[in-house]
Amino acid sequence: MLIAVKPFRTLIFAFTLAALGCHAQTSPQTVPPGAGDASGKLSPELTRRVEVLIRSRASIPPGYVIQIGSRTRSDVPGFDKISVSFLADGKSSKPAEFLLSTDGNTLAQFSKFDISKDPKLLVSGDGRPSRGGPANAPVLIVGFDDLECPYCAKMHEQLFPALTERYKDQIHIVYRDFPLDQHPWAMRAAIDTNCVGAHSPMGYWNLVDYIHAHAAELGGTDKSLAKANETLDTLARDEGKKQNLNAESLNACLAKQDDTAIKASIKLGESLGVDSTPALFINGEKVEGAQPLEDVYRMIDSALIASGQTPPPPPTPIQAQPQTPPATKPGN
């Protein structure tokens, strides 16, 4: 089997954004003495220098044949491209691309990323019950949530009240479902809250608030899954009554337990690199786990500034009141 080439940690070449955006060179290519011929084929001496460096830096075994292609023009001034493949047991690897300076003295490898798209569009809040400002608020916060996750419950209790109080209509908050396999009733909780949320955003958030606050109690002292599921269905029906939802439609949704939308949400999260909860995306910037509130404020403030908005002033720290020392009693 072919092995993967290790990245050249010591050969990472830093380029400015301007350089990355440059077009191909238009001036005639000059091949320095010993660097190769006019066709771009490397000289035997230069080929060996490239091969020895790659073999040593990437720990390529002696049994692997390194095949180095001709140099071609790149988008980076002063560098050409060369393609390198690895051959073993009659099989060839996928070519790896390197940069070779036109004077033949520097080999480099770097990753190029597309930043042309607005990160806010990475994950959408469309079709989900929301809190905070309108859908066109400058900052979209999408949380991947597991209703049986104690860390999610803590974040839900502490973070979101503080955010909505501080930022008001500047943020639009939605949850997407990401129930984990190790939490037995999390999937049912996601389905039940969505059954209510399909017709009442307020009912959805009331349920989410309650379940996160009382998750430890569901299932009773014996942690019965059947009891937890029964309680979740009862909570959904009770909330449906408060929101004047059609009882027949709601009961049908609860009985069906259709997990299609939940699985689609899980798949979306996985495509974004989510593998644990809680996970937030603040205008596309990923935040995993419980983070200090000040760090989340900083990220939201940065997103607001990038959107041309002014963040609210920093919260005024609470000053500790000096305490009067106790009176000294006679004899002390």
Q: Are strands 96-101 and 107-108 parallel, antiparallel or unpaired?
A: antiparallel
Stretch (H or E) spanning 300: helix 293-306
Is 18 within a domain?
no
Is 284 within a domain?
yes
Question: Helix, strand or coil for residue 298?
Answer: helix
Same domain (yes/no): 280, 161: yes
Same domain (yes/no): 125, 98: no
Mean pLDDT value of segment 255-268: 97
Stretch (H or E) spanning 92: strand 91-92
Q: Which of 279, 317, 316, 312 is nearest to 298 (CA)?
A: 312
Same domain (yes/no): 163, 271: yes
Place of tokens 């909330």: 239
Is 3 within a domain?
no
Same domain (yes/no): 169, 77: no
Percent of the chain with pLDDT over 90: 69
Is 325 within a domain?
no
Same domain (yes/no): 229, 269: yes
- List the end-to-end C-alpha distance of the chain, in Å, as a whole number: 83
Q: What confidence score (pLDDT) does residue 35 get?
A: 53
Quote the domain boundaries for residue 93. 44-109
The string of pLDDT tens digits covering residues 293-313 is 899 999 999 999 999 999 999
Q: Mean pLDDT: which of 22-26, 112-116, 132-136 is highest? A: 132-136
Q: What confidence score (pLDDT) does residue 318 get?
A: 53
Q: How far apart are CA 57 and CA 108, in angstroms?
A: 12
Same domain (yes/no): 217, 69: no
Stretch (H or E) spanning 241: helix 225-242
Q: How far apart are CA 141 and CA 125, in angstroms?
A: 8
Q: How far apart are CA 125 and CA 135, in angstroms?
A: 8
Query: Taking 50 as the threshold, does the pLDDT of residue 323 lie above it?
Result: yes
pLDDT band at residue 274 using 50, 70 and 90 as cut-offs: very high
Query: Taking 50 as the threshold, does the pLDDT of residue 10 lie above it?
Result: no
Q: What confidence score (pLDDT) does residue 40 get?
A: 85
Query: Taking 60 as the threshold, does the pLDDT of residue 91 lie above it?
Result: yes
What is the number of H-type helices and E-type strands within the chain? 9, 11
Q: Which of 253, 240, 232, 177 is nearest to 203 (CA)?
A: 240
Same domain (yes/no): 94, 191: no
Is 103 within a domain?
yes
User: Can you give the CATH number for the domain in which 239 is found?
Assistant: 3.40.30.10
Q: How many domains does the chain have?
A: 2
* End residue of a domain, out of 109, 127, 142: 109
β-strand partners of 172: 132, 140
Same domain (yes/no): 151, 98: no
The string of pLDDT tens digits covering residues 42-81 is 999 999 999 999 999 888 888 899 999 999 999 899 999 9
What are the structure tokens assigned to 156, written together?
A: 């839900």
Residue of higher predicted confidence among 100 and 316: 100
Same domain (yes/no): 216, 163: yes
Average model confidence (pLDDT) for the chain? 85
